[in-house]
Each structure stands twice: as C-alpha cells, then as structure tokens.
A and B are shown apart, each in its own frame.
Chain A
Amino acid sequence: MLWTISGFTAPAVQKPVQKQLRMDSSKLILRNFDAEKIKAYTEQTEFSYKETPPDQDSLWARFWRWFWNWFTGVLENKTSGTFIKYGIIVALAALVAYIIIKAMGLDLKIFTGKSKMVEIPYSESLENIHEINFSGELDKAIATGNYRLGVRLLYLHALKVMNDHQLINWQPEKTNQIYIEELTDPVKRKHFGELTTQFEYIWYGEFFINKESFAEVKKDFDTFNGRRT
C-alpha cells in the first residue's frame, strides 16, 4: 500500500533528449529564366504596360498626364509617399470638420473662449473727413445758397482740425457728445458744445438758416478753429 502511494507521489524522472541538427545534403539546381523567351514576351504588345501618349493630345492633356505620372511616382516612393498619404488624410479630415462646423453655424473661435467681433456690412464710410476738400465744398455750398450743408461742412472741418491736433480721436461711429467729452480743456469743451447744438439744430432739426445766420455761425466756427492753433 505504501509502495503504491509513494509510486504515485514520486516525481517523474525525465531522461534528457538529445536534439541534433541534420544537414541538408540534397543538391540544389539553380534555374534561370530563359532570356530569349523573356525577350519574346516583351516584344508582344499584350505584355506592354507603358502608356504611349497619342500624338494628337493637347498641351493641357499632356501636362495632366505628366502630373499624374509624377504624382504616382511620388506616392510609390516609400518616404515621400507615406508622408503625402497622411497629409491628404489630415487635410480631408480638416475639410470635413470645417464643413460640419460651418453647417452647424458655430463660431470657429468657440474654442478660444472669446467671441469674434460682429461683422457689419455697413463698414463703408459715408464721407472721410480727411479726404474732403473743405474750402472748395464750402464755397460751392455758399454759392448755391445751401447753408445747411455749409454748417455741416464747418462742423466736419472742426472735427478734422481737432483730430489733427489730437484733441479728439475721430471715429465715424462716435457721437457728437463723445467728442465733447473727449475735450479736456473746459473752455474748448463749452465752446464746442455750443457749436454742436447749432449743428444739430440745423442738420438734424432742419431749422432754416439764411445768409446772415450762416455768417454768424461761420464766424463762430472760425473763432473756435483759430483758438486751437
């Protein structure tokens, strides 16, 4: 009984197996393609894979053929081909993402956390005060008796003069009140405030102004402009 138990529990003793490499002693026969047969095949048109351009192709068609031959050659190249393939994949992914973002109407700067400025189609200035020929236009307005326009030109000219002397920062979207507040000298501010009131009554209020009244207004503007220099 004891023998039986010890017979089951004793570890098996394995004999080492000797492995030997066998030498391949079979004879190899080197076979070559028959050069004549290859030559015969290459002469057959069925085995010719080169595209022969038709003689009547246009310059444009020949250019594209050259381009695609070159492009295929680049793609087949291991280094540049891999680079271009991944480049195309990235570009296509970016294009798809762009189309989705545009289709959803999302702001592209959403990821930066700051909203882009609103685009306004009214960017064109009605008149640039730096390009108006004030003396010529004023003479024309006076000659035609358009004193209302004359007062407007005087006001715009005063704005230009103040901007040239850096007393105000002229911007088309600023109101007259903002320009008054930009003036630091209280005397000039008061005077310009009065001129603004005159301008607003005549321009926005369309109050009638005759030659005599215009002369008074012009004198007032001249005094204001003269005070600055």
Chain B
Amino acid sequence: MFNKRTDLTQLNTAVEQIRETLGKIIVGQKDTIDFLIAGLLADGHILLEGVPGVAKTLSAKLVAKSIDASFSRIQFTPDLMPSDVLGTSVFDPRNAAFEYRKGPIFGHIILVDEINRAPAKTQSALFEVMEERQITVDGHTYLMDEPFMVLATQNPIEQEGTYRLPEAQLDRFLFKIEVKYPSLEEETAILLNQHQHRLDDSLKAVQPVLSIDQVKSCRAIIKGLHVEPKLIEYVAKITHETRNNKSLYLGASPRASLAMVNAAKAFAAMQGRDFVTPEDIIKVATPVLTHRIMLTPDKEMEGLTTNDVIAQIIQKIEIPR
C-alpha cells in the first residue's frame, strides 16, 4: 500500500553489518550497540559510562574500526593539558617561525578514554571542537574533517580519582549510555568465546564495513526524515517539563530537544521507517536527557535518579495520536 519515499536499503544494510561485526566480539549489550550506531548516524558524540571491565572501551574501538576512517585515542589523565589534546605551536628554528603541531583530536573517530580523570581545565578544551567541529589556536581556526565523532568512556563519578564533567560538556554528548554488567548467560558466553583467544587477534580481524562517504550519505538521509508536527510538540513538552519539574535543579536545554529529534530519526531509520513515531522518541529520551538534567539535593538524598524522573515525565505526557 505504501510506496517507498526514501531508500533506506543501504543504511539498513550498513547497520546490520555493524551489528554483526560488533556482535562477533561483544556478547550481549544489544542496546549499547544500537545506541552507538544511532549516535554515529545522527552525527552525535557518545559518553559510555560503566564500572571498569564492562567493554566500554572495546565497544568504542569496535565502532571506530567498523568505519574506514582515521581513529585516534586520547587517554585522559589528571596531568593532561589542553595542548596535549588540541596540539601546540612549536618554534621551528630553520624557518624562524612557530609551526602548529596538530594534537590527537584531529581525526574522524576520537576515543577519549576515562574522560572524567582529567580536571575541568582539560575538559574545557573539548567544548569548541565537540559543538562546532573546529578548534581555534593562536588565532587560527582549524576545521575538523567529517565525520567527527567523540566516543568517551567514564567510570561513575563515585569511583576513586574521578571528576564530574562540566554541564556544558555533558550537554554536548548526544547520548550517555550506561553500560551494565552482563547477565549470567552472557558472562558464560564471554568466557566460552574468549578464554582460548587473544582479544587483540579478534580486534585485528575486524574489517571496516562502512566508508566515510557512506556515513555522510546515511547522515544526509536521516536529516531528511519526516517528523509529524505533533511529535515535535511532544518532544518540546518533555524537555519543557524537565525545566519545571520540582525534582530537578537543572532542566534540559534546547540542544537536548534537537538531540532527541535527531536521535529518534536515527532510530526510525534503523527500523526501516522514514518517519518518527512516539516509540522512537521514548526510546531515546532517557539516554539523551539523563546527563543533561540535575536532581535537587533533597531528591538525590532520597535516592531518586534522573532516569526515574525522566520515566515519570514520560508516563504523564499524553502520546500524540
């Protein structure tokens, strides 16, 4: 009955290939993998949070390896300086001039490991590049190549030697994905798969399944997907409620609304649809909002979480139908 308006074949094939590639090494974590793919397609940065040893870094590395693009890794440490990330001007005596040496931030897929181990000064170095895809050093602006994606991992803030990320930086991440422990069956499967193999060998065997041009093309398709006006209003209501909710000290920004719409479009495309449904919005609401809002101190003491408040908000707002 419904003729195809948008050809999503290439996109869906690519998604399946990435799922398959990641699924060969990562056991379980289906939601994490889907959110990583959605983030890549929606042109967003992703923050992976979880206790040590739950395959956060491995997931990020695999996503990067599944794309035929340049990859760099920055290990954030307490003594890391902004120039260690962005690069620095070095005096060249032969030319008697300063020459800019690019930092590791120049690349397509950037893995920032243990991002919350660096202090706020170093975190701030990422503000411009994450939002505007450019950096300004010594009066010169350098544009990043497309696609540019930051995949950051962090331990929960209660862990030893970690700092809470600045709100301005958290707002720049499309998703915060909470990576949970595997189930008993999944853990058994991990042991069965890996106790006789070296992980490095498995990683080396991973081949890129998507070119840079394909990523760009998929992103362009997703940009053009249809969102019914009532659903736009639905997203606005959710965000607006976070600003008026008594349990919250800090509500979500308009950037969060845009992120929710873009992420919902990516999920719709991954389902083979060229339009968004309320389910897509609900699916992305928690990972989009959870790191952008802050609980009031008394609610925090009561043991309430931001995920609880988001769930309450969604349960109260009427589905546009």
Q: Which of A183-220 contact B (CB under 8 A)?
A: 198, 200-201, 203-207, 213, 216
The answer to whether the Cβ of B299 comes within 8 Å of any Cβ in the partner chain is yes
Contacts A118-B247, A205-B275 hold; do A173 and B2 have CB atoms under 8 A apart? no
Contact indicator A117/B277 (Cβ below 8 Å): no
Q: Which of B224-251 contact A (CB under 8 A)?
A: 226, 228, 231, 237, 241, 244-247
CB distance from A72 to the nearest CB of B (A): 44
Which residue of chain B has the shortest Cβ distance to A172 in the bound complex?
Answer: B318
Contact residues in A for B5 (Cβ distance below 8 Å): 207
Complexed CA–CA distance, A190 and B298 (Å):
46
The answer to whether the Cβ of A7 comes within 8 Å of any Cβ in the partner chain is no
Contact residues in A for B302 (Cβ distance below 8 Å): 110, 113, 115
The answer to whether the Cβ of A125 comes within 8 Å of any Cβ in the partner chain is yes
Contact indicator B275/A115 (Cβ below 8 Å): no
With a 10 A CB-CB cut-off, give which of A175, A176, A216 has the most chain B CB atoms. Answer: A175
Contact residues in A for B299 (Cβ distance below 8 Å): 107, 115
Complexed CA–CA distance, A120 and B247 (Å):
12
Complexed CA–CA distance, A106 and B247 (Å):
9
Contact indicator A173/B316 (Cβ below 8 Å): yes
Complexed CA–CA distance, A140 and B312 (Å):
38
Query: What are the interface flags for A27-44 relative to B under an 8 Å C-beta threshold, 1 for contact and 0 otherwise?
Result: 000000000000000000
Complexed CA–CA distance, A172 and B241 (Å):
17
Contact indicator A122/B320 (Cβ below 8 Å): no
Query: What are the interface flags for A105-136 relative to B under an 8 Å C-beta threshold, 1 for contact and 0 otherwise?
Result: 11100100101011111110110000000000
Q: B1 touches which one: A115, A121, A174, A198 (CB < 8 A)?
A: A198
Q: Which of B288-308 contact A (CB under 8 A)?
A: 296, 298-299, 302, 304
Contacts A118-B313, A205-B273, A205-B274 hold; do A126 and B318 have CB atoms under 8 A apart? yes
Contact indicator A115/B319 (Cβ below 8 Å): no
CB distance from A110 to the nearest CB of B (A): 6
The answer to whether the Cβ of A149 comes within 8 Å of any Cβ in the partner chain is no
Q: B313 touches which one: A107, A110, A120, A201 (CB < 8 A)?
A: A120
Contacts A203-B228, A206-B228, A216-B1 hold; do A122 and B241 have CB atoms under 8 A apart? yes
Contact indicator B319/A174 (Cβ below 8 Å): yes
Which residue of chain B has the shortest Cβ distance to A217 in the bound complex?
Answer: B1
Contact residues in A for B237 (Cβ distance below 8 Å): 122
Complexed CA–CA distance, A118 and B246 (Å):
7
Contact indicator A107/B318 (Cβ below 8 Å): no
Complexed CA–CA distance, A152 and B277 (Å):
14
Complexed CA–CA distance, A166 and B209 (Å):
49
Complexed CA–CA distance, A118 and B226 (Å):
31
Contact indicator A120/B241 (Cβ below 8 Å): yes
Contact indicator A201/B2 (Cβ below 8 Å): yes
CB distance from B290 to the nearest CB of A (A): 16
Complexed CA–CA distance, A155 and B2 (Å):
18
Contact residues in A for B278 (Cβ distance below 8 Å): 175-176, 204
CB distance from B179 to the nearest CB of A (A): 25
Contact residues in B for A156 (Cβ distance below 8 Å): 321
Contact indicator B2/A207 (Cβ below 8 Å): yes
Contact residues in B for A152 (Cβ distance below 8 Å): 321
Which residue of chain A has the shortest Cβ distance to B249 in the bound complex?
Answer: A105
Contact indicator A173/B296 (Cβ below 8 Å): no
The answer to whether the Cβ of B317 comes within 8 Å of any Cβ in the partner chain is yes
Contact indicator B318/A204 (Cβ below 8 Å): no
CB distance from A108 to the nearest CB of B (A): 11
Complexed CA–CA distance, A118 and B237 (Å):
14
CB distance from A46 to the nearest CB of B (A): 62
CB distance from B218 to the nearest CB of A (A): 19
Query: What are the interface flags for B1-42 relative to A under an 8 Å C-beta threshold, 1 for contact and 0 otherwise?
Result: 110010000000000000000000000000000000000000
Complexed CA–CA distance, A113 and B315 (Å):
22
Q: A106 touches which one: B298, B315, B316 (CB < 8 A)?
A: B298
Complexed CA–CA distance, A177 and B319 (Å):
12
Contact indicator B247/A204 (Cβ below 8 Å): no
Which residue of chain B has the shortest Cβ distance to A123 in the bound complex?
Answer: B316
Contact residues in A for B226 (Cβ distance below 8 Å): 205-206
Contact residues in B for A207 (Cβ distance below 8 Å): 2, 5
Contact indicator B312/A117 (Cβ below 8 Å): yes
CB distance from A159 to the nearest CB of B (A): 8
Which residue of chain A has the shortest Cβ distance to B308 in the bound complex?
Answer: A115
Q: A120 touches which one: B1, B296, B316, B319 (CB < 8 A)?
A: B316
Which residue of chain B has the shortest Cβ distance to A127 in the bound complex?
Answer: B321
Complexed CA–CA distance, A123 and B5 (Å):
36
Contacts A105-B296, A110-B298 hold; do A122 and B279 have CB atoms under 8 A apart? no
The 3 closest A-B pairs by CB, nearest first: A205-B275, A120-B316, A172-B318
User: What are 23 A-B interface contacts by the 8 Å CB criterion?
Assistant: A106-B298, A107-B299, A110-B298, A118-B241, A118-B309, A118-B313, A118-B316, A120-B313, A120-B317, A121-B241, A121-B244, A126-B320, A155-B321, A156-B321, A172-B319, A173-B315, A174-B319, A175-B279, A175-B319, A176-B277, A201-B2, A204-B278, A207-B2
Given A176-B319, A204-B276, 6 other A-B residues pairs in contact with their CB atoms under 8 A: A117-B312, A118-B313, A122-B237, A175-B279, A176-B277, A205-B226
